Structure 1
Amino acid sequence: MQLDSQLDSETGNELLRQAWVQFSGAESYTDYCQYWLELMCTRIGGVTMATLVLDSGENGFLPSAIWPEKSQPDEEFTALIEEGIEEASGLVHSLASGSYGVAFPIRLDDELAGVVALSLNVPHIVLPEVMEQIQWGSAWIELLVRRQRGKEQTEQFDRLSGAVDLLAAVLSEARFQPSALRFVNELAAAYGCDRVSFGLTKSRQTEVTALSHSAQFGKKMNLIRRLSGVMDEAILQRGVISYNAAATDESQLVMREHAQFSQSGGNANILTIPLHSGDDYFGAVTLERPVGQAFDEQEQGRICSIVALSSEVLRNKQNQDSSWYQHLYRSTKTQLQRLFGAGYLGRKLILTSIALVCLFFTFATGTYRVAADSVLEGEVRRAVVAPFEGYLDDAQVKAGDRVSAGQEMSRLDDRDLTLEKLGYLSEGAKLQRQYEEAVANRDRAEAKILQAQLEQNLAQLNLIESQLQRTRLKAPFDGLVVSGDLSQRLGSAVEQGEVLFEVAPLERYRVILWIDEHRMADIDNGQQGRLILNSLPEQSFAFSVSQVTPVTEARDGGNYFRVEAQLQDISPGLRPGMEGVGKVEIDDRRLIWIWSYPLIQWVKLKLWSWIP
């Protein structure tokens, strides 16, 4: 019994020693994880299954090692791993098989880096010791993760540093061609390439633009034509092609052009990187190395970063060196591709809407109208004037009042006329008695003289009566008083012929239109139109042009002709003096002409004034 125990101890020590040897000699990341897990299982003992799950970044938590190798965890063990990731703390569960399940988190700077899960057939009392051993052993995985991240950061820094250095070299050149030549030369020197080629797509075919260590080269050379085919092969497949003549082709990309180029005088190792901006592939870079100097994955990553950063700069320099008509052609081509190609739905909808609107206004017709400021006037405007010099005695109406025919509007003081009438009446009675006496005395001469004086007296009386009647100023017809307010002038003197009131009828109106001189050629007698007044915007009134007068007036910085029109629709709400906008209907024309006519007319006048 003691011998068997001793043999088991020696066997366990041997297994542990072998596990340490394997772990110490691990070279790759995968071997390190697998040998570490085997070492932990050997040290703990009683482990039936174990898994190491680590954070892989974008892909999440993935198994990095499993023991025994190629074993498949069941659902219960998988659930244990998922719970350990979710809880991020040490867990111990009893499994359905009677064993214990242990999950322990691996942390890195308070960040969950992974989980170790084990299935054990051990007594319950040793579980704390198991957790302690896993905690101590997890330091090796933390060290591995730190080294891996440090290595990635170093590679990223080296890649970025190389890309920035090469970009600085490219930017130091002012023109495109020297920049492209500097780019391929620097890239060839940095990565030990026999030849580096740079090409840009032109008319659906790649044209070699720069060749390392060659300032000039013929574009019809066989080498250049084959390089163009190599670049086209990578661009058409939208992927990086790494060709190695000595290695077995495991890539899914077609490499026929690369193989032919290598066999016809090219190098054994060829790396072609297509250049693109989004979905626009505009060129490629091809690097060549001799036999035994294949491009590994790290170099490919660095070269891709450098090329991606510098290619856009070279493309911009080429665009800047282009002539104006090349810029115009390229811009027009880009806009047409966006218009008729995929995407840019908003732009297409806007342009389609504009096209439909233009088509509509090109073929649609409407009534061409000439608009003008308008004022409403009475057809007749009668003035009520002072018949003679006198004094105002009374005023019954003022501007804005409605009057009827014969209505007294104002009255002049008639006291002087009344006294003068009485004087003439007494004088007439006297002359009448003298005339009768002369007739009785048969004095014919005296009778003739007195008769003449009587007739003169009667004429004076008639004049006085007429003046007394005219002291009552009356309305000539039914209408509206449009001017005159004598309520503040009672008792004041008036001159003969002084306008006291103006009266306009309410049943007959005329419209005064002020037509812009630029539109005057379209106006003629008999044309119809509509008037909308500022005070009655909800109602329009028809009118017809009755008179076009050659009278102009300067209004608002322009010249306007006075045009009279006869109002056809009469409304009780109309009043003389109302203002509004009238539109004279000319004829039917295209809407695009109606809207663009003022601009076209203005352009014609300006051109005429500028042309010598």
Structure 2
Amino acid sequence: MQLDSESNNDQLRQAWVQFSNAVSYSDYCQYWLELMCTRIDGVTLAALVLESGDAGFLPTAIWPEKSQPDDEFTALIEEGIDEATGLVHSMASGCYGVAFPIRLDDQLVGVVAVSLRLPQTALPAVMEQLQWGSAWIELLVRRQRGREQGEQYDRLSGAVDLLSAVLSEPRFQPSALRFVNELAAAFRCDRVSFGMTKRSQTKVIALSHSAQFGKKMNLIRRLSGVMDEAILQRGVINYNVIGAGDSQMVLREHAQFSQSGGNGNILTIPLHSGDDYFGAVTLERATGQPFDEQEQGRISSIVALSSEVLRNKEHQDSSWLQHLYRASRTQLGRLFGAAYLGRKLLLLGSAIIVLFFTFATGTYRVAADSKLEGEVRRAVVAPFQGYLDDALVKAGDRVSAGQVMSRLDDRDLTLEKLGYLSEQAKLQRQYEDAVAQRDRAEAQVLQAQMEQSRAQLELVDSKLQRTRLKAPFDGLVISGDLSQRLGGAVEQGEVLFEVAPLDSYRVVLWIDEHRMADIANGQHGRLVLNALPEESFAFTINRVTPVTEAKDGSNFFRVDAQLNDNSSRLRPGMEGVAKVEVDERHLIWIWTYPMIQWLKLKLWSWMP
């Protein structure tokens, strides 16, 4: 290989001149690649691939120009990007393929690939030439990035300066006026206008160098149309009266505004937050002073940063009615628009619940603690003073009518009976003697004594019969256990047993005083006992008494009810919970009534 031979000095000199005079980024890359191919003999195809931001690696220059790399050469470039190191491959065409990475601060920014016909011994020199030449591309990339960072810094510094000026004003209207004035001064604009969308139409809020302006001026109406045109198309409109026909956007309002006395260059930037377009900014310059792409980018960055602050200030300065309207509109839009599925489901569920409680009714029932008692409760008492001889039953035993439950000691009564029998026999003999002697007076006296003795004897017989305490009817002994008192004395009238029937019961309910207003005779209900939770028994209220009892800090009224159902498993004294059915009412009333009643009482107690 002869890199600087006499035969290609002119081509090399011309390549250096083109490369030195390159102005644009693409020309620089293309002339650099031509220079490298001129310095290296035997090159048949060469390509320069550089990183292009989000687009990835893209071909920037190719030599010869308009050449089409084949699949093998493309694979060489891709392998060079993946490996990020120098590569040399033998290609099917008999050429050698060389790929060399271009780095910037240990970051891969590109790859240069060449296909050449040279001896293998010349390949190290080729690699050195590519390594030497890559420094020019590194310098280009570094300058390009420095320029982009400088532009970005200028944009940010301008945006921050304007933002600080807007934030320095406490109110919205002065902030908007300061915004357009600073924007007009920074970019040498004849006029800058700022508008916000109100009811689907843009309203001009501020004009640069104009503290006040009439709302019905033709200028203001036309500016509103210009802003609406950009907002409706959702894009920035850069109108130039000279090159207006090159734009792909509708420019009718901008053209009419320019012809009616406006300026020849109009830049309108719509303001938006996500998909919500809420206003626009229009900048005007005289003919011959167009807005270039760089200026448009800077202005867009500044406007995007400051517009949100202005929007927030406008919201803060609104009245409470406007805040309410805006919030309601936003929530309705979210509710009936797209997305926000959870909110829609929540509203639907709430509507279903409201409808349910509006029409759903149920049986209003009053719950109360209850106790089962026998309808009749008969007491078995001691007929006279005596001593217990035997106790045949006790509480909990079932008895039949006439069954002996207990016996009193009858020995004294038996002796007393024998005495009366002896005396009666004696009086009978005396009476017969008096009759035989025809002593009428004596016979009448003896007859009276005999009657008295007979009466006393009948009394003793009666007491003897009553020493056997018998059950008054079939039932259950609910109290009385004399097994520990055998031989003990009992007093006349002392209650020894209590018996209740097993086929007739009554229910005693203790109703909370807060619910007594809903209770009346004749109401029905159901009873569930603690001992029989799987069954319920119907009852009917037959007596509401004024008797109260204090339990757990509350007053309860006693209510008697007749048990309609019967069961062989029922026993007097069982306890449970009874519910009295009052009437049909709305479920929401039934569930909230205790709380509402409590609140009413508390409010009444707190009221002066």
> What is the TM-score with the length of structure 1 in the denominator?
0.86
Once the 2 structures are TM-superposed, how far is the Cα of residue 277 of structure 1 from its aligned partner?
A: 1.7
Q: Secondary structure at the match of 1:138?
A: helix
Structure-2 residue corresponding to 1:339: 335
Aligned to 1:134: 130
> Partner residue of 1:369?
364
What residue number does 2:412 align with? 419
2:226 to 226, 230, 234: 230
Partner residue of 1:566?
562
Report the residue type matching 1:91 in the other structure: L
In the alignment, structure 1 residue 96 sits paired with structure 2 residue 98:
no
Equivalent position amino acid for 2:367 in 1: A
8 Å contact 1:244–1:294 — kept in the other structure? yes
Map 1:311-460; keep pairs closer than 5 Å. 311-364=307-360, 366-375=361-370, 376-389=372-385, 397-410=393-406, 414=409, 418-419=411-412, 421-423=414-416, 425-426=418-419, 428-430=421-423, 432-433=425-426, 436-437=429-430, 439-440=432-433, 459=455
CA distance in 1, matches of 2:27, 2:467: 133
Closer/same/farther in 2, CA of residues 424 and 508 from structure 1, 3 Å limit? closer
Residue matched to 1:80: 76
Report if aligned partners of 2:2, 2:41 keep a CA contact under 8 Å in 1: no
Q: Within 5 A, what are the aligned runs for 1:576-595? A: 576-588=572-584, 591=587
Taking the aligned partners of 2:160 and 2:442, their CA distance within structure 1 comes to 143
8 Å contact kept, 1:438–1:444: no
| Correspondence 1:148-547 to 2 at 5 A | 148-364=144-360, 366-375=361-370, 376-389=372-385, 397-410=393-406, 414=409, 418-419=411-412, 421-423=414-416, 425-426=418-419, 428-430=421-423, 432-433=425-426, 436-437=429-430, 439-440=432-433, 459=455, 462-464=458-460, 466-467=462-463, 469-484=465-480, 495-515=491-511, 520=516, 523-547=519-543
Q: Distance in 2 between matches of 1:487 and 1:512?
A: 31
Does the C-alpha gap of structure 1 residues 319 and 458 become closer, same or farther in structure 2, counting only changes over 3 Å?
farther
Q: Is the 8 A contact 2:95 2:117 kept in 1?
A: yes
In 2, the alpha carbon distance for the partners of 1:562 and 1:445 equals: 69
The residue number in structure 1 matching 2:13 is 17
2:159–2:302 contact (8 Å) kept in structure 1: yes
Give the 3-state SS of the residue equivalent to 1:125 in structure 2: helix
Residue 116 of structure 2 is aligned to residue 116 of structure 1: no
SS of alignment partner, residue 40 of structure 1: helix
**Deviating more after overlay: 522-531 vs 600-609:** 600-609
| C-alpha distance in structure 1 between counterparts of 2:136 and 2:407, whole Å | 126
Q: Distance in 1 between matches of 2:3 and 2:322?
A: 88
Residue 139 of structure 2 aligns to a residue whose secondary structure is helix
Deviations 1:330-361 (A, max 9, x none): 22222222222222223223322332343344
Alpha-carbon separation, structure 2, partners of 1:26 and 1:411:
139
CA contact (8 A) 2:191 2:283 kept: yes
Q: CA deviation at 1:92?
A: 2.2
The one-character-per-residue Cα deviations of 1:359-403 (angstroms, maximum 9, x if unpaired) are 344345x44332321423322233344445556666555544444
Aligned match of 1:64: 60
1:143 alignment partner in structure 2: 139
Shift of 1:155: 2.8
Shift of 1:522: 5.0
What amino acid is aligned across from residue 351 of structure 2 in structure 1?
A
Deviates most, 75-84 or 202-211: 75-84
**Structure 1 range deviating more: 399-408 or 179-188:** 399-408
The question of whether the paired residues in 2 share the 8 Å contact of 1:517 and 1:559 is answered with: yes
Cα distance in structure 2, aligned partners of 1:600 and 1:563: 25
What SS does structure 2 have at the residue aligned with 1:539?
Answer: coil
Q: Secondary structure at the match of 1:136?
A: helix
* C-alpha spacing 1:594/1:431, structure 2 compared with 1 (3 Å): closer
Q: Structure 2: which amino acid aligns with 1:429?
A: S
Question: What is the distance in 2 between the residues matched to 1:318 and 1:487?
Answer: 97
TM-aligned CA distance change 1:530 to 1:438, over 3 Å: closer
- Letter of the structure 1 residue corresponding to residue 124 of structure 2: P
Q: Which structure 2 residue ranges, 5 or more long, are not aligned?
A: none
Please tell me the residue identity of whatever aligns with 1:425: L
Supply the distance in 1 between the matched residues of 2:324 and 2:294 (Cα, whole angstroms): 42
Deviation at 1:237, TM superposition (A): 0.7
Tell me, in whole angstroms, the C-alpha distance in 1 between the residues paired with 2:208 and 2:397: 103
CA distance 1:93–1:551, change in 2 (3 Å): same
Worse-matched range after superposition: 184-193 or 452-461: 452-461
Q: Distance in 2 between matches of 1:81 and 1:399?
A: 108
Question: 2: distance between equivalents of 1:498 and 1:524?
Answer: 38
Contact 1:372 1:514 (8 Å CA) reproduced: no
Q: Partner letter of residue 183 of structure 1? A: F
**What is the CA–CA distance in structure 2 between the aligned matches of 1:108 and 1:281, rounded to whole Å?**
41
Which residue number corresponds to residue 46 of structure 2?
50
**Whole-angstrom distance in 2 between the partners of 1:164 and 1:303:** 12
Secondary structure of 1:17's partner? helix
Code of the residue aligned with 1:100 in structure 2: it is Y
Instruction: State the one-letter code of the partner of 1:102.
Output: V
Letter in 1 for 2:532: L
| Larger deviation, residues 599-608 vs 515-524 | 599-608
The worse-fitting range, judged by mean Cα deviation, of 7-16 and 149-158 is 7-16
Q: How much has 1:202 moved relative to structure 2? A: 0.7
| TM-score with structure 2 setting the length | 0.87
The CA deviation string for residues 280-337 of structure 1, in whole angstroms up to 9 with x for no partner, is 1111112223334332223222222222222222222222222222222222222222
Conserved 8 A contact 2:48-2:113:
yes
The amino acid of 2:300's aligned partner reads: C
Q: Closer, same or farther in 2 for the Cα pair 1:577/1:252, shift >3 Å?
A: farther
Letter paired with 1:565: A
C-alpha separation in 2, matches of 1:487 and 1:252: 116
Q: 1:460 to 1:27 in 2, by over 3 A?
A: farther
Deviation at 1:205, TM superposition (A): 0.5
Taking the aligned partners of 1:313 and 1:253, their CA distance within structure 2 comes to: 29
Q: Distance in 2 between matches of 1:272 and 1:425?
A: 139
List alignment gaps of at least 5 residues for structure 1. none
Q: CA deviation at 1:112?
A: 2.6
Shift of 1:561: 4.7
Distance 1:23 1:489 in 2: 134
Which amino acid in structure 1 is aligned with residue 422 of structure 2? A
Report if the CA contact (8 A) 1:85-1:105 is conserved: yes
* Structure 2 CA distance for partners of 1:137 and 1:602, relative to 1, 3 Å: same
Aligned to 1:261, the other structure's residue is in SS state: helix
Within 2, Cα distance between the matches of 1:167 and 1:488? 103
Counterpart residue type for residue 332 of structure 1: S
Distance in 1 between the 2:2 and 2:411 partners? 168
The change in CA–CA distance for 1:516 and 1:427 in structure 2 (over 3 A counts) is closer
- Does the Cα contact within 8 Å between 1:367 and 1:585 map onto a contact in 2? no
1:238 to partner: Cα distance: 0.8
Contact 1:367/1:586, CA 8 A, preserved across alignment: no
Query: How many percent of aligned residue pairs carry the same amino acid?
Result: 76
2:101–2:108: 8 Å Cα contact kept in structure 1? yes
CA distance in 2, matches of 1:300, 1:399: 106
